[in-house]
Amino acid sequence: MLARAFVSHYRRHPFQLAALALMIVLATMLWTGVTVLTDQARNSLLQSEDAVAARAQVIRSDGRPVGVDDFAALRMAGVCVAPWLEVQRPPPEGRVIGIDPLAMGCFGDAAPGGGTGTLEGAPFVDISKAAEFPSDGYGRRLYLLAAAASRELPAGYTLREFSMGPPTGELADSFLLNLDALSLLVLLITGLLVRSVHRLGIAQRHGSFSLLHRYGVPRQRITQWLALELLVLTGICVVPGLWLGTGLAGMLGSGFGQALGSLFDVAIYAGDAGSLPWRAAGIMLFLVLAVCLVDWVVPARWQAMAGQGRGRIIAFTVFLAGMVGVALAPGLAWVFAATAMVFAGAGWLTPGWLALLAQRLSNRTGSRREDPLARWRQRELAVMFRHLALPVVALQFAMATVLAVQALVTTFEGTFETWLAQRLAAEFYVEVPANADADVAAAQLQGLDGIGPWHRVIRGRANIAMVDPGSHHGLGDEPIAVDLFALMPISDLVTKWSLLESVQEPWQKLETDGVMINEQLARRYRLEVGDTLDIRLADTNRNAEVVAIYADYGRPAGEILMAGSALPAAFKPHFQSFSVTPGCVAMTDIRRRLSDTWQMSELTIRDNDSIRALASKVFSQTFLLTRAISLLTLLLAAIALLIMGWVFFTTRVKYFQLLGVWGLPASMVGRQLRRLSVALTLTVTIAALPLGVWLTWVLVSRINPLAFGWSLPMDLYPLFWFELGLVAVATGLIIAYLMRRQLGHTESIKQVEP
């Protein structure tokens, strides 16, 4: 009998059952799609890192290039090496990299591709295919990748590091950390969407539950049956939601990516979207039961207090405490907890504030005896904000999340491109061979007429300490080891760097007695421009003023930048290279001169433009997938508001019909509905803007510095706000259209039409 009683409600209101089932399907689809896309983005980013990561290579001690015979000899000697064939094709084809997955088997989990030994998608191909490219007009170079040096190499070979670009590991980790934080917000939005539809049905079934209780059914038994109903309904709806979410993620991550790839030459490393993510199903099942049955756990007096003045005071206190906590939090866990408090407070307060604003506008309109329909719309809007509190908050959170995702992705793209452009400003990179004389090579370059800007890069280690430690500094008088980055001469390739902080004419002061530090070192030890450091190089100590702080994304180490002319003669660099822009001199002539100087026929010379293009290409796929996540979140949140708005509008059909009874033509009734629904969606979007801007600030200015020691520039994109406004207007117009069709079938309005 109880089962029949519970089912009878849905027999009388089949649309409610369809709405609840559809919302569970859509929520599961949203969370599954985000989960699959996030996994694909993570896999894509890991493979992107492999494309530009630093690796160890085996080289010949005599300076000759390695070949197939060297590979065979090393493998027969028990050394784990694998071929890596780079082929530089003429434009527009560009570079391809041939790899041998079978040979990489000895690397184990350390193999490129996360232990699989494979890197899928451009620019990677099988080495046999790369070897088929003709040699005429193609530059090619074979490298022998080496695993960690677990044993000594045979005589005549040595290890050396090589990479295809600047280190990007921490930049990738930062992006994934922010992506995980946004995924948690998507989970929160998903729960709010399901709860909003469920609470509307519970409100309409309140009389039925009271009647069952009068007939002797304990309230606990009703709760148990309600939980069973949700469990069965969720179990039925989760599977199609999983299937739809996986299919949609596959379409956005693969089909959409392939379409963009053909248009813009952007490759996508798509993950395996063929199997259903059952872990997401378990999370969704728990989430639905938790958010829908929480009212049966929370005491009734607490629920009553939530909508009263005391509840609003508590919510405002939680909101302020969260804002202060985010600003002052000493660690990531505290930031996440404080952010949750801000969202909880904002979600608690927003519907009430919007309803109060609409109510006051209606009172002001009434006092001026203006258009009575405007007052009616404002009063109706206040009612909607109170009764549609959960979908309103869900849409607000979704809009804020989409704003933050868009700003974060655009900021990462711009930061990444700017950083690469600064670090790869020269056209060519020339590695100084081991035991080669870099001073003689520098003299050769200096003597070339018509050569463009160039500089020598010297890397090593140094120890630093504060000359006069202050209370605000974290760097004491005990020296600490840092990376050293020295340039000689200070060329035009670096003087256009965008510095975070600096004194006047920092590059000129760098050439005299100044030093620059990266942001990681400045934040870690609270160093500032104008501080004086005691720098120990080899057996020499010198004092240097900090003249600038520069951004150094992608790695955690502290670093100082100084002029190479200030290095003592006893200093032994770990690595040296030249960054060269040939200008009027052919690069082949520069290569020949350096080869003659160093008495080596094979030099490591890289085209920085191709490195930058490759790095940008392999990272663009992750940004594309993240935009797909934001698009999916916004789309389904808009659909959820559309469903909820339509359901709620349906409950107020008799009030809308009164407009016709009072003599309003059907066309004017439709116009009022359009204004009302558009005002609802557009107001929620405007309310989401401050929360979205604040969330962006939290991601780039709080989470990144605490997790990695550096921050990202924060940019706002008002044009995207306008696009979100268009989405809100379109959603409101669709709701009004559906309601107009429903009212069009009633006779009450037709009777008063002229």
pLDDT tens-place string over residues 547-593:
999 988 766 778 999 999 999 988 989 889 999 999 888 888 888 88
Coil, strand or helix at 128: helix
Q: Please report which confidence band the pLDDT of residue 271 belongs to, taking 50, 70 and 90 as the band edges.
A: very low
Query: Which amino acid type is present at position 136?
Result: D
How far from 609 is each of 96, 418, 426, 428, 603, CA to CA, in Å? 14, 13, 8, 8, 18
CA distance 751 to 754: 8
Backbone angles phi, psi at 119, to 5 degrees: -125, 110
Question: Which tokens sit at 552?
Answer: 């150094």
Q: Is the pLDDT higher at 490 or at 333?
A: 490
Question: Which tokens sit at 688?
Answer: 């989401």
Query: With pLDDT > 90 as the criterion, what percentage of the chain qualifies?
Result: 11
For residue 730, what pLDDT is reported?
A: 86
Q: Please report which confidence band the pLDDT of residue 472 belongs to, taking 50, 70 and 90 as the band edges.
A: low
Q: Is 502 left (phi over 0), alpha (psi -120 to 50) or beta?
A: beta
- Helix 718-744 to helix 653-661 angle, to the nearest 10 degrees? 70
543 pLDDT exceeds 50? yes
Q: 284 Cβ partners below 8 Å, 6+ apart?
A: 24, 27, 28, 31, 32, 190, 234, 238, 241
295 pLDDT exceeds 80? no
262 pLDDT exceeds 60? no
Q: Please report which confidence band the pLDDT of residue 627 belongs to, taking 50, 70 and 90 as the band edges.
A: low
Mean pLDDT of the chain: 77
338 pLDDT exceeds 80? yes
For residue 80, what pLDDT is reported?
A: 86
Q: Please report which confidence band the pLDDT of residue 235 belongs to, taking 50, 70 and 90 as the band edges.
A: confident
Please state whether the predicted TM-score (pTM) of the whole model is above 0.75.
no
Q: Say if residues 485 and 459 touch (Cβ distance below 8 Å).
A: yes
The DSSP code sequence of 240-284 is: HHHHHHHHHHHIIIIIHHHHHHHHH---------SS--HHHHHHH
Chain segment 714-730, per-residue pLDDT in tens: 777 788 888 888 888 88
Q: 688 Cβ partners below 8 Å, 6+ apart?
A: 395, 396, 397, 398, 399, 400, 403, 724
Query: Which amino acid type is present at position 444?
Result: Q
The pairing of beta strand 559-563 with beta strand 480-488? parallel
Q: Is the pLDDT higher at 694 or at 539?
A: 694
CA distance 462 to 482: 6
269 pLDDT exceeds 50? no
Query: Which amino acid type is present at position 285?
Result: L
CA distance 611 to 339: 39
602 pLDDT exceeds 80? no
Chain segment 437-449, per-residue pLDDT in tens: 999 999 989 888 8
For residue 469, what pLDDT is reported?
A: 59
Q: 726 Cβ partners below 8 Å, 6+ apart?
A: none
Q: Is the pLDDT higher at 182 or at 117?
A: 182
Q: Is the pLDDT higher at 315 or at 256?
A: 315
